[in-house]
Amino acid sequence: MVQAVHRQAEAGREPLTRARILKRALELLDQDGLEALSMRRLAGDLGVSPMALYNHVPNKEALHEGITELVLGEIDISSVASGDHWTDGIKAAVSSFRDVLLRHPNAIQLIQTKPITTPEGFRPIEASLAAIRRAGFDPETAVHVHWAIVGFAMGHVSSQVSNPLQDPEILEQSIEVRRQIFTPEEFPALSESMPYALECDFDAAFDLGLDALLQGLDARLQS
Amino acid sequence: MVQAVHRQAEAGREPLTRARILKRALELLDQDGLEALSMRRLAGDLGVSPMALYNHVPNKEALHEGITELVLGEIDISSVASGDHWTDGIKAAVSSFRDVLLRHPNAIQLIQTKPITTPEGFRPIEASLAAIRRAGFDPETAVHVHWAIVGFAMGHVSSQVSNPLQDPEILEQSIEVRRQIFTPEEFPALSESMPYALECDFDAAFDLGLDALLQGLDARLQS
DNA sequence: ACCTGAACACCGTTCAAGT
DNA sequence: ACCTGAACACCGTTCAAGT
């Protein structure tokens, strides 16, 4: 034990493990985006040869799947069964889902494309489906309702983070491009809405859409 | 002119243009996915040196943006102002949007991340915003309503095309993974819903969610 | 103006070799 | 079991050279 600690100190790093690789990979993804996350860079960042990674992760695809599970694991589903109405618990869980996505905006493309393969990753889906079933939807409709809610949440956050007006770095040139295109004759609605699009409150927009969706879904329950 | 045609026939190909590059790029994207779409492969496919592409497209990023505009241009917004109720026109336009995305599933990641920079690309947004404004929403709320609808549509289609149960090639192994994870004790809702998830009718699921969302949004108009 | 070939700085991954 | 270095088949892009 003492010797192990000593060797670590000598090497200046902890031992390589799958968990440590995924953690650092997610950090790199958050910092510099998906294109910058290469096996070679990740290895260099961990102070190790590129091929060392392949002892803990079969390939880059598996690395991406691991990151997906890591992010999905951050979702807080503890209060999905709370509240008077079924929509209260769903709202809480979906809000946590959104918070996680906003914390890892570059991970959205991974979550949208990589399959879930571990119990950890399926737990939020189980919680959501169970809450929807408890609300009274039949099993088939419950699946549809789940996809409607998850689709809305993921698509909305995706729209937000990829909106160039949200990024201070390219804001000015985006405004310029739009100012030239949005003539009042050809694009009346867009030129009118420019000021509102600029200072768009995405939190409020998300709440509006989610409330409307849940209200509409709940109405299908009464009939 | 005759000489030009003759030279074409000799070379066995039409002249290289931006439009032809983008068209072939989208075809390759549809066939083999985003990872397989490289500048070098695209050039080889067009029977030309990799560097020839750079006379018509500044870099790969611009190629991706061009593909995005090409796909957005396929959306049919002609009937966005039709129907008795504002939701009728929106439903028609959103349905066309969904059809286009399902026709080019690999383009979704591009549409979600690349900025729109030409009038062509902004036209569907203009049509949507105008219809929402005409329905009676104030300019600020109209932007929120637009994002809610577009977010739902994009997220829902994205969930559908990335669902491993939809892909015949990896269907069996996905079922096997799930069968092992979904014990009735730990994942009661998921194990109950397995048969319904397998033969999930995404068209019906989309309609359910969109109708619910539009109904909920319309309710905010009356108050 | 448009295309090419060589070159540079990167990739993911295999394989043989080390401990 | 875990790590390394060399190698292979790829990338995107720059630059000088051709027409």
pLDDT band at B8 (very low <50, low <70, confident <90, very high): very low
Write down the pTM of the prediction. Answer: 0.93
CA distance A96 to A150: 12
* Structure confidence by residue, pLDDT tens digits, B146-186: 999 999 999 999 999 999 999 998 999 999 999 999 999 99
CA distance A142 to chain B (A): 8
- Asked if residue B2 has pLDDT above 70, the reply is no
Cβ separation of A196 and B139 shorter than 8 Å? yes
The pair of structure tokens assigned to B166 is 């939809």
Out of B155, B162, B189, the one facing A155 most closely (by C-beta) is B155
Q: Does any strand C atom come closer than 7 Å to the Cβ of B12?
A: no
How confident is the prediction along chain A (223 residues), in pLDDT tens digits per residue? 333 333 333 444 578 999 999 999 999 999 999 999 999 999 999 999 999 999 999 999 999 999 999 999 999 999 999 999 999 999 999 999 999 999 999 999 999 999 999 999 999 999 999 999 999 999 999 999 999 999 999 999 999 999 999 999 899 999 999 999 999 999 999 999 999 999 999 999 999 999 999 999 999 998 6
Q: Can you give the pLDDT at residue A13? A: 58
How much is the pLDDT for B14?
77
Nucleotides in chain C near protein beta carbons (<7 Å): 1-6, 10-16
Half-sphere exposure of B53 (CA within 13 A, CB side): 24
- Is the pLDDT reported for residue B7 higher than 80? no
Chain A interface test: which of B72, B77, B133, B156 (most A C-beta within 10 Å): B156
Task: Confirm whether any atom of chain C, the nucleic acid strand, is less than 7 Å from CB of B15.
Answer: yes
Contact between residue B122 and residue A190 where contact means Cβ atoms under 8 Å apart = yes
* CA of A53: nucleotide with nearest C1': D3
Q: How far apart are CA B148 and CA B130, in angstroms?
A: 15
Q: What is the mean pLDDT of residues B22-36?
A: 98
User: For residue A40, which nucleotide's C1' is closest to its Cα?
Assistant: C11
Nearest nt (C1') to A54 (CA)? C13
